[in-house]
Amino acid sequence: MKEHLTPLSLTRKLISFDTINPPGQERICIEYLGKLLEDSGFKTNLYEFSKGRPSLVARLELNDNKRPICFSGHVDTVPLGATPWSSDPLGGEIQGDKVYGRGSTDMKAGLAAMVVAAKNVAQYPNGKGGITVVFTASEETGSQGAHHLAGLGDVLGEAGAIVLGEPTSNYPMIGHKGVLWLEGYTSGVTAHGSMPEQGVNAIYKAANAVTRLEKYDFGVTAHPLMGKPTLNVGTISGGININSVPDRATIGIDIRTIPGQEHSDVYKGIKSCLGSEVELNRVLDLGGVMTDPDDDWIRQIFHMMEGVLGERPVPATMSGFTDVSVLKPFFDNPPTVILGPGEVTMAHKTDEFCYISKIEEAVEVYTEIARKWCEL
């Protein structure tokens, strides 16, 4: 008996796939999504960047030379955390207008809405341009899936516009900050903990470095939409046991940048601040993205969303990074909107949920965006 596909049933099905990253293991979920799109006439291909971890590129090619519109999202989710959940995090439990589960908001509800919308549009064969669906593995740990696709050459094809389904409560966002993750290493000389004068304490050096970072000033003017760049020391580790002088310590530094900041200059500034006692290494380097709010397509999206939201959207951006840091430059910087049914305040949290009404709303929005792009 053929499965009856609704936005909610598909969201719950996707939640049931354990794609927690690490380790990821997105294959079963990706294959399931690919089959749904293939059954609707999409040409699908899987590209594996590591064992059991493929990304999906699916194309619905229509008549005309117009470039397709790209709908994109990621399949992996973050770990559950130490706090116990109130319900099965892979169960897709429903309570009123909410569906619960890891990835419900970030971002399996968005994937479900995109697939249902893509299947809706695929029923009409006489449009223009077409639709490309790009669902990636391993976004949460640095967009490795998207980087892999971009590095394969022409497997992504072209795109005239991008819709990314990250959680925004269906409010259209036109960009986000860049991200630069650094690790700082300090070295010392080990000795017995009862004779610290015989050693050099790497943790003390790291502590001094953290103090300097806490007061660091980028020296740039705030962006009108993105605000100021930020710096956060997210991790610090060192030492082998309590009764030894540590000879190694590591600091994890998370920097979010705004337009006008070159990451090479930011790196040099941090290196100068920390001095020669801290070795600095790049862990992740993704540029920010921004689309002109006066772009014709963005204005069309805002006009359409005015009827959905009950108010005219104003240009706004996200602070977190997304796969469009990779996809937008690969596609030669087409207009891009970040718009998805999830609640950004629930992303990565215990008892994560998404409003069911927002998922259904997203289907209507994505269908209309695709229908207008394909001139149906």
pLDDT digits (tens, 9 = 90+) for 38-97: 999 999 999 999 999 999 999 998 877 899 999 999 999 999 999 999 999 999 999 999
Least confident of 57-71, 199-213, 345-359: 57-71
Query: Are the CB atoms for 258 and 219 separated by under 8 Å?
Result: no
- Please tell me the distance from the alpha carbon of residue 175 to that of residue 253, in angstroms, as a whole number: 22
User: 225 to each of 28, 177, 221, 347, how far by Cα in Å?
Assistant: 39, 10, 12, 22
Per DSSP bridges, beta strands 175-176 and 94-95 are: unpaired
Angle at the Cα of 306 (from 301 to 310), degrees rounded to 5? 155
User: Among residues 281, 318, 348, 333, which one has the least CA distance to residue 107?
Assistant: 348
Helix, strand, or coil (residue 274): helix
Q: Judging by beta carbons within 10 Å of its beta carbon (0-12, 13-18, 19+), is residue 153 exposed, middle or buried? A: exposed
361: Cβ contacts below 8 Å, ≥ 6 apart: 170, 308, 341
pLDDT digits (tens, 9 = 90+) for 85-115: 999 999 999 999 999 999 999 999 999 999 9
Whose tokens are 């696709």? That residue is 149
Residue 2 has a pLDDT of 53
pLDDT band at 249 (very low <50, low <70, confident <90, very high): very high
Identify the structural domains of the chain with CATH numbers, from first to last: 7-176+289-373 (3.40.630.10), 178-286 (3.30.70.360)
pTM of the model: 0.94
Per DSSP bridges, beta strands 69-74 and 161-164 are: parallel
pLDDT digits (tens, 9 = 90+) for 207-225: 999 999 999 999 999 999 9
Residue 253 has a pLDDT of 98
In terms of C-beta distances under 8 Å and separation of at least 24 residues, what long-range contacts does 151-154 make, across chains too? 152/47
Query: Are the CB atoms for 90 and 101 separated by under 8 Å?
Result: yes
Helix, strand, or coil (residue 189): strand
- Which regions of 194-300 does DSSP assign to beta strands (E)? 230-238, 248-257, 278-286, 289-290
Q: How many residues does the chain have?
A: 376
Residue 127 has a pLDDT of 84
